[in-house]
Amino acid sequence: MEQASLQFIGILHGDIKSRADAPKNYSESDRTGILEIYPQFRDGLDGIKPGQTIVVLFWLHQSSRDILKVYPRGDKSRGLHGVFATRSPVRPNPIAISELKVEAIHGNKLEVSGLDILDSTPILDIKKKISSR
Ligand SMILES: C[S@@+](CC[C@H](N)C(=O)[O-])C[C@H]1O[C@@H](n2cnc3c(N)ncnc32)[C@H](O)[C@@H]1O
């Protein structure tokens, strides 16, 4: 099977310490935290401004990777769905995508709001949010 190698660009510092305490998604969260970007990637932040919404990809390091069917939001009344039809954190490659508001920037640290992600989760990438058509 083909494989890829990734490098984490940083780490999240936040106050969400357990899945039970985590909002189900960023669209229903006002939780704040800090994206610490490692110094070797600092230049990649140039152009990001406070007030902007960014798209952040996380590696959900505590997720199961061997589950392909889930009950969305744990709701059995909805029946089993394939993970690729959901935003479940469990999936073969546990990548999360969250749209976060940049509240402030301090060097290589971005203060953000809208978190649905656990403290100490590795960061894979940051992208500009595409403007809607
Ligand atoms: C449903 S996922 C959605 C993530 C992302 N916003 C997305 O749509 O791809 C959010 C849930 O992932 C779980 N989670 C967050 N950080 C995690 C981590 N590092 N490892 C495993 N599960 C995590 C929490 O239970 C949280 O409620």
Class of domain 10-128: mainly beta
Residue ranges around ligand 1 (CB below 6 Å):
19, 22, 24-26, 60-63, 87-89, 96-98, 116-118, 121
Rg (CA), the chain: 15
Q: Give the residue from 131, 46, 55 showing the smallest Cα distance to 95.
A: 55
- The rounded distance, in Å, linking the Cα atoms of 51 and 100 is 10
Q: Give the residue from 97, 94, 117, 96 showing the smallest Cα distance to 34.
A: 117
pTM, two decimals, is 0.97
DSSP 75: -
- Ligand 1 mean position to 96 CA, how many Å? 6
- Ligand 1 mean position to 60 CA, how many Å? 7
Ligand 1 mutation target, pool 117, 120, 123, most atoms within 8 A of CB: 117
pLDDT (tens digit per residue) in 48-82: 999 999 999 999 999 999 999 999 998 999 999 99
pLDDT (tens digit per residue) in 114-126: 999 999 999 999 9
- List 98's β-bridge partners, or say none: 56
Where exactly are the structural domains of the chain? Answer: 10-128
pLDDT (tens digit per residue) in 90-103: 999 999 999 999 99
